[in-house]
Amino acid sequence: MGITETGDESSARKMRRRIPPSIESLDADILCLIFSFLDLFDLVHCTVVCNSWNAVINKLKLLQASCRKMHHLGSDFPSSSTSLDRPVEIDVEDFAMKHHKMALLRGRIEIERWEAHSHRVSQCRMKKGLLLTGVGDKIMRLWSLKSYKCVEEYSLPDAASLIDFDFDESKIVGLVGTRISIWRRNGQRSIFPSREGTFPKGLCMRYIDPEAVVGCEDGTARVFDMYSKTCSQIIRTQGGPITCLSLSENQVFLSGSSLGRVTVSDPLLDQPVATLKSTITAGGIQTICFNQGTNLAFTGTTGGYVSCWDLRKMGRLWEKRVSPNVVYSIQQLRNDTSVMVAGGIDGVLRVIDQSSGRVLSRFILDDKVSTTLRRDDQVVIEKRRGKRVSQDMEMDKIERKVRPQISCIAMGMKKIVTAHNGKCISVWRFNLS
């Protein structure tokens, strides 16, 4: 039932632990008054907090009333034909995904932007309300997405440059030059022994505990064990430098090459399981993401194409040109089988239907700054509105300052974080209320 960004623990369980006994024992009339201010998404969360809250919400038919409002907005939530004599039954996870999609397509767009680094920053990763930024200078910074404060900072003492990184609850794993480095969240840094940690030039890296996979310029994928600090496998893919990677939970991984091929590999085997190639000249693969629930992989290319690959049949389902330029990043929520988001060199954020490849909506920055906030740590938060642009709008007629290049995307529930290969990071929030 998990609907958080990581799926490790549901919001309901988190909420339940935080609720003091005095709140649970509130009078039903007071609860009804409080709940009446909530939208359908928050009401559904409240129904799974405790039995007393669930009873109040269902008895007063607050869910039914809220469902009708959502249905009138054109959503596919339970309609007004739902019987008033019985509670509305909602699959919380499915509901969360539908609410997320509707927020992306119809919600009000609010953007918060700040200068995260003094030099260029091109990568970002988001987990559990934390955002890690870096690549371009000698520092990685971990930010709170609630306060936008930098909670931790990690420096690179070596002359080698940071190429890629990922993180979890206890550590940050980075590809630094031709080495893998590990930063404990307490700031201590360690590196793999020189005998095990060096390899031909690495271009990308992905990490799921306990293994990290590095894609190299010579076309090999090297699998490293984080605990023994050894290279456990070297897999030679079929041609071309490996430019992007995506890992599955069962350790099967996908790699994209500059030659436009997608390779499916298993660390237990010395050779790739399959190699997939486009039937048209779509360009080299720049980004790849894997949907665990559907076994579908999505790729973006230098030619502006996005493709969908079915890994059960090892074949392509569809291929669409969604942008006139390079697609640098594609992301989706872990349990979302409906939509994904893509961004690239033209600076337009696109919502794409996973089943067809159709572009459902396109966003850019508003050219006006609505508010500027200066925090105690001197970080300036610039608030803007985002706006949707029509499908027939010519990109060349839109100023570049409102569509800065999107080099990386991180995805959360009703929010998207974008890095722009500059100093700033942008957080896009989508609100239905």
The residue ranking higher by pLDDT, 63 or 403, is: 403
Task: Return the HEC string of the chain.
Answer: CCCCCCCCCCHHHHHHHHCCHHHHCCCHHHHHHHHCCCCHHHHHHHHCCCHHHHHHHHHCCHHHHHHHHHHHCCCCCCCCCCCCCCCCCCCHHHHHHHHHHHHHHHCEEEEEEEECCCCCECEEEEECCEEEEECCCCEEEEEECCCCCEEEEEECCCCCCEEEEEECCCEEEEEECCEEEEEECCCCEEECCHHHHCCCCEEEEEEECCEEEEEECCCEEEEEECCCCEEEEEEECCCCCEEEEEECCCCCEEEEECCCEEEEECCCCCCCCEEEECCCCCCCEEEEEEECCCCEEEEEECCCEEEEEECCCCEEEEEEECCCCCEEEEECCCCCCCEEEEEECCCCEEEEECCCCCEEEEEEEEEEEEEEEECCCCCEEEEEEEEECCCCCCHHHCCHHHCCCCCEEEEECCEEEEECCECEEEEEEEECC
Out of 24-38, 177-191, 406-420, least confident range: 24-38
Q: What is the pTM of this model?
A: 0.83
Residue 73's pLDDT is 55
Residue 195's pLDDT is 59
Q: What is the mean pLDDT of residues 7-25?
A: 46
Residue 71's pLDDT is 60
Residue 15's pLDDT is 44
Q: Is the pLDDT of residue 21 over 80?
A: no
pLDDT > 70 in the chain, percent: 82
Residue 75's pLDDT is 57
The region that residue 421 occupies, defined by phi over 0 for left and psi between -120 and 50 for alpha, beta otherwise, is left
**Residue 317 pLDDT grade (very low, low, confident, very high; cuts 50, 70, 90):** very high
Residue 376's pLDDT is 61
Q: Is the pLDDT of residue 123 over 90?
A: yes
**Closest to 142 in 3D by CA, of 164, 119, 168:** 168
Q: Is the pLDDT of residue 84 over 60?
A: no
**Residue 70 pLDDT grade (very low, low, confident, very high; cuts 50, 70, 90):** low
Are 55 and 88 a contacting pair, CB within 8 Å? Answer: no
**Residue 57 pLDDT grade (very low, low, confident, very high; cuts 50, 70, 90):** confident
pLDDT > 90 in the chain, percent: 45
Q: What is the mean pLDDT of residues 223-237?
A: 85
**Residue 6 pLDDT grade (very low, low, confident, very high; cuts 50, 70, 90):** very low
**Residue 355 pLDDT grade (very low, low, confident, very high; cuts 50, 70, 90):** very high
**Closest to 79 in 3D by CA, of 45, 46, 431, 88:** 88
**Residue 11 pLDDT grade (very low, low, confident, very high; cuts 50, 70, 90):** very low
Residue 58's pLDDT is 73
Residue 5's pLDDT is 43
Are 165 and 135 a contacting pair, CB within 8 Å? Answer: yes
Considering the chain, what is the average pLDDT of its residues? 83
